[in-house]
Chains A and B, each alone.
Chain A
Amino acid sequence: MDSIKEKIQSKSKETRQEVTGKILSYSAIILIVAVVISIFAFVASKGIATFTQNHASLKDFFLTTDWSPTAVGKDGRPLVGALPMILGSFGVTLLAVLFATPFAIGTALYMTQIASKRGHRLLQIVIELLVGIPSVVYGFIGLSVVVPFVRTHFGGSGYGILSGSFVLFVMVLPTVTSMTEDSLRAVPSYYKSASLALGATEWQTIYKVILRAALPGILTAVVFGMARAFGEALAVQMVIGNATLMPKGLLSASSTLTSVLTMGIGNTVMGTVGNNALWSLALVLLLMSLIFNLLIKWIGRRGRF
């Protein structure tokens, strides 16, 4: 009797495993959350210091165009006009996604609706390969192929938003394609069957039923692509020209938040205006990626079917 009582009252091996498992997963979660919070706190404290310690004006930061953080303007405040970079970042991002989306939807439709199993597998390999290419390789191809191409066919020096968007187009294509494919695949097959049974052609089915049903998923894919394009640094930096000037068009040398950041961070000293101003750019980047994330969540919640 006693042995049974003991067995029931004491912790079994499985219970102990349960506890260990919980401890492990909780500590992992706590670690991750702590890392995220401290990154946010660090970037925010540094980024805000430009405005609190160095007395730059927040309005100038978003609305003026003169970026020379180490110099001071007439009002004695550091010149931190980040508008050219903010516009540059949005410019390349929007254009890249604009180029990529039609191709991504086309490819994903082919893969899910039209292609044979073999065709599908082949395309999947191609797209996964595109994901795996490091960004410096994209940048180098951009420098040696895209820039001369833009120079001879569109004019200018070849460096600018257009070249940046061409490079980013290839880089965001796999992300948008594979997510679009997932959302097309998630459309219940009886939608398609019902539509075909009613006498609709394949194209009518795709256009009127499948694409409509998958729209929220496709939008999510596009926003994901934007988030990737917005944060890309190296490849864009190599082809955009890095001039902190207001973009005069798609062909004039411009810069993005990331390109200015990567160029400047090694040449400034922690705690100086120049360095803090760069952290302010980083803060903008971080907030933008937060906004992209919230947008994805919002679309996901609204469009569930």
Chain B
Amino acid sequence: MKKKQIITTLLVLGLALAGCAKQDSSAKKTIQVVGSSAMQPIVEMGAHEYQRSVPEQKITVQGGGSGTGLSQVQSGAVDIGNSDIFAANQKGIAASKLHDHKLAVIGVAPIVNKDVGVKNITMAQLRGIYTGHYTNWKQLGGQNIEIVVIDRAQGSGTRSIFDSEVLGGQKKMKAQEQDSNGSVQHMVADTPGAISYVSFPYLKDTFTALKIDGIAPTTKNVTTNAWKLWGYEHMYTGKSPSKETKAFINYLLKSDKIQEKLLTRLHYISLRSMKVEKDQHGKVTPVE
């Protein structure tokens, strides 16, 4: 009985060690991508497409948040760190040590519960809601329902896009926070009087997407900066990425299959169609 136990223990240990060893030998080839969960679907699908032409290339894509992506790529633990925010705007990251590859543009839209009776709002009103100035939809021409403000987690990419365009430096009030687009969708659809914001891929008809100053949240309006709530999806690498990493990123940025088809299908916007560009301070300039 005892001998059996020892043998089993050794076997288990042995297997575990073998598992480690196996991973080590193939680590050279594997490209590790970690970071923003909003970007995870495009990078995953992109990796899938890429593997069709380069089948022996292993690519692992993980979520974990923009902060995780940036700090892991900075420490050299992974090859690519996905982020919805400029590395320069993330505390504790030395942006000069990283190389930025902009994969796509993403729009963000304020959404409300269907019953609030408001479809259009001004930027000042939106700011008023998030700074706690307005507390009832009645004040904005809607139904007599209390406003339930739902915010995103501090440091999330979607929130930083929203804050930089909407708040204009004012202090946001404290509100409920959710850390994923999915739970925000669910909560806004079900909670009377709820307002929040999601990125374009998560817009659904179970809630209303608000127009701001009469402008609808569409891809086309983003390309001209008529719709101001947008930002970049970044893929950061170290200064000297491996050959495999370079080839993969190159594929994602250049391939028509990704930039034309995949991005449109997932409601992201290709950099090719953008008529303006934005820097890390939010300054917008036309593309030549």
Contact = CB atoms under 8 A, between A and B. Distances in A.
B67 A266 contact: yes
B153 interface: yes
B66 A157 contact: no
Given A242-B178, A272-B91, A157 B183 contact: no
B92 interface: yes
Contacts of A70: 91, 154-155
A21 B2 CA distance: 8
Nearest to B151: A243
Interface string B58-82: 0000011111101100110000000
Contacts of B187: 143
Interface size classification for chain B: 35 or more
Most buried by A among B6, B67, B93, B193: B67
B256 interface: no
Interface stretch (B15-23, B44-52, B169-177, B264-272): B169-177
B153 A157 contact: no
A267 interface: yes
Interface residues of A, number: 36
Contacts of A264: 153-155
A286 B143 CA distance: 46
A255 B174 CA distance: 12
Nearest to B69: A266
Contacts, number: 96
Interface in B150-203: 153-156, 174-179, 183, 186-187, 190-194
A38 B2 CA distance: 31
Nearest to B75: A270
A293 interface: no
B9 interface: yes
Interface string A216-249: 0000000000000000000000100111110000
Nearest to A254: B176
B97 to A, nearest CB: 13
A85 interface: no
Contacts of A21: 2, 6
A24 interface: yes
A266 B92 contact: no
A146 to B, nearest CB: 12
Contacts of A147: 190
A8 interface: no
A274 B155 contact: yes
A105 interface: no
B92 A157 contact: no
Nearest to A243: B176
B65 A266 contact: yes
Interface in B192-222: 192-194
16 contacts: A17-B2, A21-B2, A24-B9, A70-B154, A70-B155, A159-B176, A238-B183, A264-B153, A265-B65, A266-B179, A267-B179, A271-B92, A274-B154, A274-B155, A275-B67, A275-B92
